[in-house]
Structure 1
Amino acid sequence: MSNNNNELTLSAPLSGPVLVLSNVPDEVFASGTLGEGIAIDPLNDCLHAPCDGVIIHVARTGHALTIRADNGAEVLMHVGIDTVELNGEGFALLVKEGARVSEGQALVQFDLDRIARQCKSLVSLIILTNGERFELRPIAGKSINVGEPLLQVLARSTASAQSSVDNSVAEASASVRITHRGGLHARPAALIRKTAQDFSSQAQLHYGDKSASCDSLMGLMGLGIGEGDEVRVTCRGKDCEAALQALINALSVATKQEHHTPILTTPRHTSHEADVLQGVCAAPGLVCGPLFRLSGIELPQDTGKHAPDEQLQRLDVALEQVRSEIRSTLTHARQRKNVEEEDIFTAHLALLEDPTLLDAAARAIEQGNAATHAWRDAIQAQCAVLLALGKPLFAERANDLRDLQQRVLRALLGEAWHFELPAGAIVSAHELTPSDLLQLSAQHAVGICMAEGGATSHVAILARGKGLPCVVALGAEVLDVPQGQRVVLDAANGRLELAPSEARHAEVHQIRDAQTLRRQQQQVQAQLPASTRDGLTIEVAANVASSAEAQVAFENGADGVGLLRTEFLFVDRHTAPDEQEQRQAYQAVLDAMGDKSVIIRTIDVGGDKQLDYLPLPVEANPVLGLRGIRMAQVRPELLDQQLRALLQVSPLGRCRILLPMVTEVDELLQIRQRLDQLCAELELTQRPELGVMIEVPAAALLAEQLAKHADFLSIGTNDLSQYTLAMDRDHAGLAARVDAMHPALLRLIALTCAGAAKHGRWVGVCGALASDPLATPVLVGLGVSELSVSPPQIGEIKHRVRHLDAAHCRQLSQGLLDLSSAKAVRQACQHHWPLS
C-alpha cells in the first residue's frame, strides 16, 4: 500500500471477479448515489482491511463497515446485496468500531452459503463515501485476490473541484424516458444534479415547452416530469459527450425510491365510527398517550424598509447555519449507514444552494423586504409551482421546502427548536417536516399524526426508519382535538381514536407490554437450558471464530461453543502462529465460556482458504482438493503443533476436538492414535473428546462406523449440501438451490443420527441449517441433540425448541424424507410447525 496525503492504493478486501458499479444488481449502488466505487463477487468468506486505518462504523448486523484511511479517505465495505435482512445471521465481526487495523487484517467472517441462499446477491461493494475530497482510479483486472492492488484514491485539488464552466461550443443531445419511480422529484433530481456537477459542460433538461438547468434542483423538480415521461437532455462544453452519457444513465436507472406504500389518491374522510378519524398509514404501530399539537412559525406583517446589505448578510448567516446543521445530520446518517435519511438531507442541502430560491429571496431583499419575509415568500412561490403540477408526489415534495422555510426562519429569528413534549406524547400537526421528525424522535414522541401529508413523503420514510407509528392525511379535524387529550393511534389501520375507553387504553398497554415482555423473556430465558414440551433437552451452542465472539455468545446464553473456527489464527499473516500463541488463543475462548464446553475444529484451509506460508499446488477444482484433514497428510507438523496447543488448555475436560473433511475411518484412527501419542509425551492422563465433521456424503454413509471410534459427530450442512447436490455454493446461478432442506440432505442427516445412536454417540449440527428456525423441528425429529448457531439467534432457537413436542417431531420428520424438493419440505414445515 502506498499512502500519503495525496495518494492511497487500496488492496482487495475480497477475492473474486471484479465488477463496475453499474453492473451491480442494486439500483442505489449502481447509480452511484452512495459514491464511487467498485464491486467484487466474493469467492472467499472473509473481508479484509484494504488499507491501514480506523474502523469508524460497523453495521449493527455485521454486514458492512467503514474504514477511515490515514489520508482521510473513508471507504465503505458492504458484503452482499440486501444482507441487512439477515439481521446479523451468518456474519462474525472480528473488529469493533474505533479499532485501529492494518492492511490485510481480517474484519468480518461470513457464511457464503447462507448469503447466497437467502439474499439477493453475493456481490460486495467497496465505496468511497467522501468523494467530494477524493477521486478513484480502478487498477484491478477482471479478477482479483485478497491483498492485490484494487483502487487508487487521489485527493481532489481545489482547482479541479471548483473548475469553471467550459464555454466551448461542442454540443450533444439525446432523448430518454424517465424510469425513476414517481418521476423526477427531489431525490432523483439530486442524483441528476450531482451527476451534472461531475462535468464542466453545461447541461439542461427539456420537457414539453419548459427547460431547466441540471444545476438547479428546484428547476428540475419544477418541470413536473413524471415516471415514463420522455425528456431531452442537452450538454454544451468540452466533455459534453461524456456528460450526456452519464446523465442518460442517471435518468434511466430506477433508484430505490420511497415505495412499498401507494400514493394517496382517495379523498380524506372521517371514519363512519364516532370519534375516529381515518387517515393513511405511513409507519405501522399501536400507541396511546396525550395529543400534543405542533404549530409552525407565523411571521407578523413586514412594516418597513430594510437595508438590503444587512438583510442579505443575515440571510447568508442563517443559510450557512442551517447548512452546517444538515451536514451534521448527514454525517450521523452516514455513520449509521442510513441511506434513506442521507438521501433526504442531501436533497435538502442541494435545495439550500438552489439558484432559483436564492435569487428570488435576494431580489425581494433588494426591494427592501426583511430577510425573514423574503425567504418565506421565495419558498411559498416554489411550493405553489410544485402544487400547480397537480401530481401528488410533487405536492408532497413541497413539504421539504416548508421544512427549509421553518429551519431558516428559526435561524433568522434566533430561535431553537423549542417544543418540550410531555412524556409519551402523540404529536399532531398540519404537516410535519423531516427535521421536525428527527427532533420529535430525539424527544421520545411515541407517535405522529398529520392533517396533510402522504405515505410516500420523506417524513413517512424517516418515521418507518425510526419505528415511530405515523398516520397522515387525517384532515383538518385532527387540528381541532384539544391539547393533551388522551388518544389511541392505531397506525397500521390508519386510525386515530379520539375518545378511547379505559378498557381500550388498557388493551393497548397490554398489547405493548406483552411485546416488550416477550422480547425480555426470550433474552432472560436464553440463559436457561432448552427442553421440548416432552422433556428432551437440546443443547444450543454457538459458532464463533475468536474469544471476543465467544464472550458475546456466552452473554447471549450459549450452552457452549459448538464450533470454533481456528482458521482465524492462521490466515492473513506471513508465518504460522506458534504453539504458545495458539494455546493462549484457545485458552481465551475457554475462559470466555465460563464452565461450558468448547468444540475446537482443527485447521480447515485449502479450497478457497489459502495460506501465504503454505503454498499448495494449483488445483483444477480446489473444493475437491487438499482441504481440511487432508492437509495433515501434506503438512503433518501443522496439525501436530495445533494438537499440542489444544492439549495444554485448562481444564482439558471442557475442550473437544473436531476433525473436518473426514471421508474414511482410517483418517480418524490415524489422528486418534497421534493424539494418544502426544498425550503420552505431555504426560496427560486424560484425552479430550474427539469428534468428526459430517460434511462429505461418504462420512454420512459411514456414520455408524465412524461413531464406533469417535466421541461425537457434528454435521456441517453447508459443505454437505454442495457435495451431495453437486452444486458449487459459490456459483451465482445455483447458489439459491443449495438448500440443506433438500430431502436427500435430510436422509443423510437421518442416516448419521441412526448410525451414531447405535454406539450411543450424540450428533450436532453446526452448519447454517442449525440457525434456521424452520429447520429446528426437523433436526430434533431426526435425532440431532445439539444445534450450534450464530450468537444473536440463541434466544430465538431456544424459544423454538421449548414450543416443540419431540415425539411429534420424530413422527412428522420421517414423512419429509419422501417429499419431492427442498421447497416442498419448507412448505410442509411451515404447515406443521408455523413460525410465530
Structure 2
Amino acid sequence: MSVTIASPLAGWATPLSEVPDPVFAEKMLGDGIAIDPVEGRLVAPGAGVVVSVHPAGHAVTLQLDAGPLLLMHIGLETVGLAGVGFAPKATDGQRVAAGDPLIEFDLDVLARKAKSLITPIIVTNGDAFALETSVVESAVAAGDPVMTWRATGTTAVDAAADAPITTRALDLPLAHGLHARPAARIAKLAADYPGPIEIVAPSGKAVSARSAVAMLALALPHGAAITVRGSDPDGVAAVADLLASGMGELRAVAAAPEAATETVGELPTTLTGVVAVAGVAIGPAFRVIDPAAEVSEQGQGIDTERAVLVAAKHKVRTDLDREAAGKGDAAEIAGAHLALLDDPELAAAAAAAIGEGKSAGFAWRQAIGRFADQLRSAGNARFAERIDDLEDLGRRVVMAIHGGPEQAPPPPGAILVADDLYPSQLIALADAGLAGIATARGGATSHAAIIAAGLGIPMLVSLGAALGRVEPGVELAIERSMLSIAPDASAATTLRDRIATRQARRQAALATASHPAVTTDGVRIEVFVNLGSATDARRAVEEGAEGCGLLRTEFLFLDRATPPDEEEQRAAYQAIADALDGRPLIVRTLDIGADKPAPYLPQAAEENPALGLRGIRLQLARRDLLDTQLRALLRVKAPLKLMLPMVADRAELAETRRALAKHAADLGMAAPQLGIMVETPAAALTAASLAAEADFFSIGSNDLAQYTLARDRTNPAVAAGLDGLHPAVLRLIDETVRGGNAHKRWTGVCGELAADPQAAPLLIGLGVTELSVPGAAVAETKALVRTLNLAQCQALAARALIAADAHAVRALVSEQGQ
C-alpha cells in the first residue's frame, strides 16, 4: 500500500540531506524532505489527529489516518525563541482535516532570529513505512503532493525482559527542554542497547527512549523532574548521563523553593524589552530588597501620629535637600520630589486619614496611592511613569517611620534586576559599580532611566513578568533590546571581549577628544552633542563636543503644574549656552504631546497619540507656548540656531518663521537660522521643497525609523526589530540630503543612529556633515571619523541603499571592516 503526503507549506522543496543540521540531515528522526517557506502558515497535509504541539509553538506532530506519524519542525534552532513569532492554531488531541491550519508564524521575525527558516517534514515511524518518491528542488504550494511512502507491514518491538528494572532520576537540565535535537540523539543512543528504556514524565506517563516523537509529545520543559528506567543498566546509565550532560544546552536547575510557588511557564533564555539606556553589559543578577515595611492601619492617637509624620517628612526633606544640592539629573529629580513632599493636597489627604484614626504610615501611603491611582487611570504612559516618583516618595517616608531591611551591596559588575526601580534606590547604588539594569516594568523616560543614563549604565525596561523568575547570581547579558539569561560560555566570552575592546577604544578616544573630526582624505565632520541640561553641557565639553546639535527643551516643561515663563526659560537656556563656552547651540523647540504630556495641557484621548497633536502641531495650536519660547530663545546670547520638531509640510515651517521674524523685529534683532527635524517620511520625501524654507535639516532617526518601519519604539513586542539601518530609512536619509543640497542646506543626524559605529560611515557616505550624539559617545565618534575615507564611505552607502534589509546592511559594513 502506498501513501501520498501533501506539502503543509508553500515554498521550495529541498532534500533533507541539505538541511544545515545533522539531526535532520543524518535522518536521526526519520526520513522526509525539507521546505523553505514563503508563507507563514503550516497546514495539515492530510486528515489525522494532532499528537502534540510543542510548547514553544515551533513544531507539531500529526498522526495521519493513513498511518505515517509526521513531525513538522518550523525553522532551525527555533525552540529558543520561546514562542516568539509562532501562533499555534491546533491543540493536542485535536482531529484535523487536510488544509486545516496548524501553526501560523511570522516570517520576518524568524528570518531575523532563527538560524534558518528551512522546515523539515519527517515521517518518524519509518519502521512501518519506507520512502518511495519525493519532490525536491521545486516550488510547491500547500496541498501539493510531495512524498509517497510504502507500508512495510513491520514495526520495531523492544526486546522484552524479565530482568530487574534500573531507574535514574534527574531534573532536566536542557535549557530549551526536551525538543527535537536532543530527542533525536537520545533515540539514536537508546537504539544501541537491547533492552527497553523509557523516559518517565512528572505526570507518570512513560514513553520509549527509542521514539523521538514520543519524547517530544511529553513536552518536557527545563527543570522537569524525570526518570530514566529500563532493564539494561548500561543503557539507562548512558541515556541518563547524556541528558545530565546538557547536550550542549546545559542550564543549571535552581533548587526548589521551600514553599510551593505558582510558576508561569518555562523561563526563556532571552527576554526582549525596551532600551532605556543603550549599551552592552554582562554580569550576575542582583536583586534589590523590597523595602516596603508592614504598616499598621490603626494609629496610636491623632496627635502622636501627626508628630510621627512630621518627623518622618523632616528626615526625608533633609535627605532630599542634600541630594538636590548636587549636580546632574539626580539633583533635579530630588528637587521634583521635594515639591511633591510638600504638596498641600497630599498633606491634606494624609491629615484627614490620621484624623480618622489611621497611623501616620498608613495615612501617607493611602494619600500617595490615591493620587497614583488618578495618574494610572489617565491611561497615559508618560503619566504612568510619574507614578514611580509618587510611590518612591511614599516608600521613603514610610521607611523613615518604620525603617527597612538592610540591603547587602551588589557584587562588582552586577546587573540590577527589579520589577520596577525607584529613583532613590538607584541613587543609593550609584557608586556600586553596576554593569547594567533590567526591570520587568517601567518606561524609557522614567526618572530611574534618566539617572541610569547619567551614570552611563545600560538599562532595559518592560522585560515582562518572566524577569521575576531570574535567580540572584545567574549570569545575565544585555545587548541591544535583548536580555540573555545564563548565556553559554562562548557567548559570554565573546561579549566580555567586546566590552573590553570598547573600553580600551574609549580610553584611546578620550586622549584625543579635543582633536577635530576629519576623515583621512580631509573632509571635516562636526561632532556635536545632544543635551538636556547645563550639567550635560559641561560634561560634553570635556568629552570634546564641538557644540550642541540638539537641545531638548522638554526638561523645562514636564513634571510641573504650570509652564515655565519667558524669564525662567531664558535663564535655563543661557546657563546651557554659558556651559558650552561660545560653541554653537541648536535648540529644538518644545516637543511635547503623545508620550510626553504635561498636566497643564489637557488633551483629549487619542487613538494613536504618536500620530496626533504633538511637536510643531501642538505649538501652532497653542501659540502662547510657541511665542513665549521664541522670545526667551531670542534673548539668549550665544551662536544660536533653532529647529522645529515633527514637521510634515512646508506650511508649518512658514508659519513658525513668520512668528520668529515678528518677535525678532520686536526685540530689534536679526532672527537666527531656523531649521527642521526630519522625523517623518513626508519631510524626507519633500526635502527639496522644505529646503527652500528651512536653513538646515537635522534627521531624528529614532522617529524616522519608527514611522517608516511602523514599529513603536516603546513597545517591547516590536521594538527589537526597529533598526535605523534598514534600507528604507537610509533611502529617506539620502533623499533628505539630496533635497538639502539642491538649496545648499546642510544635513545632520541627531538620533541614536548618529552614535552607531556601523552607521557613521554610511551617514557620511550619504552626505551628512554633522553628527550629534550622546555625551558619552562624542570622543569615540570623533575617533571613528578620523579612520574613514569619504570615497570609500560613498561606495559603501551606495551598496547599502540597495541591500535587502538592515541585517544585510550591517553585514555589508562588517565586511568592509567598519
TM-score (normalised: structure 2): 0.45
Q: What is the TM-score normalised by the length of structure 1? A: 0.44
